[in-house]
């Protein structure tokens, strides 16, 4: 069933004639008559009784008219409800978070958003590989690093900052490297690609091949190996904040030793609902305004200067 002809039918009934109905719609009388005739053929019943003096509804036409009025009222209500999605944050958003380096930090930011917006239902899905994602199935996906697909709609809202970390016993025994090149003399705990990355792309140490006896695609597994003294790991600060604060791990606080990876909120093209817009704004504000707790150790203060949002 299509809506074709129904608006013309309703106009004729409401105005009392084909001529008045056509004037109300701004079309010709012949066009309205054609649409109503096609509608009667489509529904298989005569809806109107036409005489030279009056126009009246048949029994079928009366029933059809009432149901069409109900459908039009439903459409008006749906439009009103849809407008709410643009006017204020309501509804549901589905968020994809990378689980490669844990979701604790980002999940806490999402939870803060939910606490402030009780009218929004939030569904969080963790993923391990970008290939697992179907962007269209999510309202927002948090992606890291450079975006290769230029067609994606995205907003850069912060950086995932990595540091070099190790156990206190490892550092006491082996010391720290003084440059990326010195990593060759250390056991390194790397991801499956076997590389450490650094900020200065013009320097020889921007991408360094490392070696060690432990590799993993999990930040939690790398942190565990580092706590056991197996070597130096490169892990996001947000993943090991508690380890650094409680002394299970220490970080090399030298500018060359950091790596800041872009964090993007990627969203579907088209008109953005107010809930999605509010969520993305919350992400940006959380990265920009997140403050240190007063009991953080001095080293954490230096490290947290790298956990920042875009300016």
Q: Are 162 and 259 in contact (CB under 8 A)?
A: yes
For residue 1, the model assigns a pLDDT of 57
Backbone angles phi, psi at 68, to 5 degrees: -65, -40
Which pLDDT belongs to residue 177?
94
Do 97 and 244 sit in the same domain of this protein?
Answer: yes
| pLDDT score for 288 | 66
CATH code, 54: 1.10.10.10
Question: What's the whole-number mean pLDDT along residues 49-74?
Answer: 88
- Is 271 domain-assigned? yes
| pLDDT exceeds cutoff 80 at 85 | no
CATH code of 182's domain: 3.40.190.290
Q: What is the mean pLDDT of residues 224-251?
A: 92
168 and 249 assigned to the same domain: yes
Both 73 and 144 in a single domain?
A: no
Cα separation, 301 vs 63, in Å, equals 73
Residues 81 and 100 in one domain: no
Structural domain that includes position 57? 6-87
- pTM, two decimals, is 0.62
Domains in the chain, number: 2
Q: Which residue has the higher pLDDT, 301 or 217?
A: 217
Query: What's the pLDDT at 296?
Result: 34
Is there a single domain that holds both residue 70 and residue 145? no
pLDDT digits (tens, 9 = 90+) for 211-228: 989 999 888 899 999 999
Domain end position, chosen among 51, 69, 87:
87
The pLDDT of residue 7 is above 60: yes
Residue 202, phi then psi, degrees to nearest 5: -85, -15
Evaluate whether residue 79 is within a structural domain: yes
In terms of domains, do 72 and 99 share one?
no
Domain match, 101 and 171 both: yes
144/83 same-domain check: no
pLDDT at 174 over 80: yes
């Amino acid at each position: 069933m299509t809506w074709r002809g129904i608006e013309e039918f309703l106009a004729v009934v409401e105005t009392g004639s084909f001529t008045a109905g056509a004037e109300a719609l701004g079309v010709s009388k012949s066009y309205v008559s054609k649409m109503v005739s096609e509608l009667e053929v489509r529904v298989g019943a005569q809806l109107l009784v036409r005489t030279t003096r009056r126009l009246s509804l048949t029994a079928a036409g009366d029933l059809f008219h009432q149901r069409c009025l109900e459908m039009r009222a439903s459409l008006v209500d749906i439009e009103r409800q849809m407008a709410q999605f643009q006017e204020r944050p309501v509804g549901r958003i589905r968020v994809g978070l990378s689980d490669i380096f844990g979701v604790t930090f980002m999940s806490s930011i999402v939870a803060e958003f939910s606490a402030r917006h009780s009218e929004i239902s939030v569904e969080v899905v963790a993923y391990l590989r970008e290939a697992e994602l179907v962007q269209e199935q999510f309202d927002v996906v948090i992606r890291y690093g450079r975006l290769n697909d230029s067609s994606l709609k995205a907003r850069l809202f912060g950086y995932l900052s990595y540091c070099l970390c190790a156990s206190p016993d490892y550092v006491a025994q082996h010391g720290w490297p003084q440059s990326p090149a010195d990593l060759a003399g250390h056991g390194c705990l790397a991801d499956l690609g076997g590389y450490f990355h650094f900020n200065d792309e013009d320097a020889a140490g921007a991408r360094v091949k490392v070696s060690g006896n432990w590799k993993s695609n999990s930040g939690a597994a790398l942190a565990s190996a580092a706590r056991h003294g197996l070597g130096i790991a490169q892990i996001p600060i947000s993943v090991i904040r508690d380890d650094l604060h409680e002394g299970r791990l220490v970080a090399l606080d030298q500018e060359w030793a950091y790596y800041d990876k872009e964090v993007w909120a990627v969203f579907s093209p088209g008109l953005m609902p107010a809930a999605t817009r509010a969520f993305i704004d919350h992400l940006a504000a959380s990265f920009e305004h997140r403050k240190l707790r007063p009991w953080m150790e001095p080293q954490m203060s230096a490290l947290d200067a790298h956990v920042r949002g875009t300016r």
